[in-house]
């Protein structure tokens, strides 16, 4: 099922022709902003002078810091009267980064999100419960407008208030949910505590995104609810959700190439890498009037899947995000991604729905402590049983991440629950 078959299945030449056209328009728009105007002059970039998509790699990168430096409106390309909305990133340090949209930008974004939802088989007959934060964060309103464009019935339940979420699901027969993986894990726990089997609620699909999670967590969530879970990727700098989304094949996320030009670069050298190689995702927004952003360094690590997708869509896919360049932990000199730890934990049925990684340094030695909640149904409180589980976890983790972790097994509900983006890592090292 396609939302716009012509665009979604366009040939490579056609896509590149459209991209070149839109890229030149984006550069033209960007050169009107105070930020890019200056950068382009310094780098000798000629507005509308790009002759081929390959020349994109000659343009300078844009970083989150550049957005901060041009706060609040140094990257705005239209008159104030044209802007109808702003959002801001959830970044926890420093000034937020702010994104602006014209009425056309909002409408195009809604179309894009409707396309994503259609690619997973959702229709106007579905009831869509949007359990993402509404507000400056793009996850709530982004999916909301897309679902309305599709014609589904939207329940804007937002995050938290789990008992009310359950009530809404039951009373309105919700069929599709949008939720962070960490909140889903918590909500299932509340549902079970209330004597309900989540599978009996009849939810068919979940869109999981906004934070990194492993394939094992997807499988766990699918089994908990008895549904199909689709990976949803986006970032506020590129609108928000809708940048890349899984189709019914659930095998990597299609990046919508009529809106974005994806590149993979070596994060250390900035050099562009061929399709298939892993590196940092760089995105250029080529379909936003209010705020064109050129070669944005997402810090997210992934690779482009070169093979065509079985669904017939021609827009290239990216693999599940492995982590962020700035999330990578260096523990005792060894590189560790939180996602690697998660993939081991979630393989154990005894492990519950929440965990936390705490890093400490004692006598100049790094220590990695992993606090793991147990799953209530598997938890009998026998010391022997716990010791054995602890040992198995340590062994499996050591085999994968080399460093020797300390595991602390906790009763269900001991760690602070997450309703939005989870905080998984606490680094107490003073480096
Ligand atoms: P924000 O701009 O606050 O919405 O944050 C965007 C960031 O959230 C991205 O750059 C990713 O690091 C992360 N993110 C969003 N969706 C996913 C996803 N499906 N998988 C992994 N990370 C994600
Ligand atoms: Zn596909």
Confidence grade of residue 86 (pLDDT, cut at 50, 70, 90): very high
Domains of the chain as residue ranges with CATH: 1-322 (3.40.50.12780), 329-430 (3.30.300.30)
Asked if residue 93 has pLDDT above 60, the reply is no
Contact 301, 322 (CB under 8 A): yes
Q: What spacing in Å lies between the alpha carbon of 73 and ligand 1's midpoint? A: 23
Asked if residue 79 has pLDDT above 80, the reply is yes
Asked if residue 344 has pLDDT above 80, the reply is yes
Across residues 163-169, what is the average pLDDT? Answer: 98
In tens, the pLDDT along 370-382 reads 999 998 777 777 8
Q: What spacing in Å lies between the alpha carbon of 373 and ligand 2's midpoint? A: 36
What is the structure's pLDDT at 324? 87
**Ligand number, closest to the Cα atom of 142:** 1
In tens, the pLDDT along 42-52 reads 988 876 678 99
Residues with CB under 5 A from ligand 2 (ion): 247, 249, 309, 311, 313
In tens, the pLDDT along 149-159 reads 999 999 999 99
Ligand 1 test: best mutation among 135, 210, 296, most atoms within 8 Å of CB? Answer: 210
What is the structure's pLDDT at 382? 83
Ligand 1 test: best mutation among 136, 212, 232, most atoms within 8 Å of CB? Answer: 212
Contact 229, 214 (CB under 8 A): no
> Among residues of the chain, what percentage have pLDDT more than 90?
81
CB neighbour class for 364 (10 Å; exposed up to 12, middle 13-18, buried from 19): exposed
Across residues 164-181, what is the average pLDDT? Answer: 98
State pTM to two decimals: 0.91
Q: What spacing in Å lies between the alpha carbon of 231 and ligand 1's midpoint? A: 11
> Among residues of the chain, what percentage have pLDDT more than 70?
98
Count CB neighbours of 106 within 10 A. 17
What is the structure's pLDDT at 267? 95
What is the structure's pLDDT at 16? 98
In tens, the pLDDT along 113-133 reads 999 999 999 999 999 999 999
Rounded mean pLDDT of the chain? 93
């Amino acid at each position: 099922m396609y939302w716009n078959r012509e665009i979604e299945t366009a040939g490579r030449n056609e896509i590149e022709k459209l991209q070149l056209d839109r890229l030149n328009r984006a550069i033209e728009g960007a050169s009107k902003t105070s930020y890019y105007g200056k950068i382009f002059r310094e780098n000798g970039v000629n507005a509308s002078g790009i002759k081929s998509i390959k020349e994109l790699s000659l343009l300078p990168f844009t970083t989150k810091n550049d957005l901060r430096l041009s706060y609040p409106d140094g990257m705005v390309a239209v008159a104030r009267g044209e802007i109808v909305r702003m959002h801001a990133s959830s970044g926890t340090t420093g000034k937020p980064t702010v994104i602006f949209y014209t009425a056309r930008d909002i409408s195009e974004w809604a179309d894009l999100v409707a396309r994503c939802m259609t690619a997973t088989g959702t229709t106007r007959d579905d009831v869509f419960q949007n359990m993402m934060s509404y507000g400056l964060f793009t996850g709530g309103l982004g999916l909301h407008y897309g679902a309305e464009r599709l014609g589904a019935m939207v329940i804007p339940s937002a995050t938290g208030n789990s008992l009310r979420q359950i009530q809404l699901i039951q009373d309105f027969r919700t069929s599709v949910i949008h939720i962070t993986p960490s909140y889903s894990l918590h909500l299932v726990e509340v549902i079970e505590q209330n004597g309900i089997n989540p599978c009996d609620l009849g939810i068919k699909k979940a869109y999981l995104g906004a934070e990194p999670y492993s394939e094992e967590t997807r499988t766990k969530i699918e089994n908990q609810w008895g549904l199909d879970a689709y990976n949803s990727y986006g970032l506020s700098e590129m609108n928000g959700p809708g940048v890349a989304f899984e189709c019914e094949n659930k095998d990597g996320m299609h990046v919508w190439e009529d809106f974005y030009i994806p590149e993979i670069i070596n994060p250390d050298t900035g050099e562009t890498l061929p399709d298939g190689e892993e590196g940092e995702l760089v995105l250029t927004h080529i379909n936003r009037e209010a705020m064109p952003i050129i070669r944005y360094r997402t810090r997210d690590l992934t690779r482009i899947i070169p093979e065509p997708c079985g669904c017939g869509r021609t827009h290239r896919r990216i693999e599940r995000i492995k982590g962020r360049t700035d999330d990578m932990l260096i523990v005792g000199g060894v590189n560790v991604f939180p996602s690697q730890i998660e993939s081991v934990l979630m393989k154990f049925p005894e492990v519950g729905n929440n965990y936390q990684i705490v890093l400490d340094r004692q006598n100049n030695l790094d220590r990695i402590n992993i606090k793991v909640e147990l799953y209530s149904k598997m938890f009998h409180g026998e010391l022997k049983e716990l010791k054995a589980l602890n040992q198995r976890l340590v062994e499996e983790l050591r085999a994968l991440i080399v460093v020797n972790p300390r595991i602390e097994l906790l009763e269900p509900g001991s760690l602070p629950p997450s309703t939005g983006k989870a905080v998984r890592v606490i680094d107490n090292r003073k480096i």
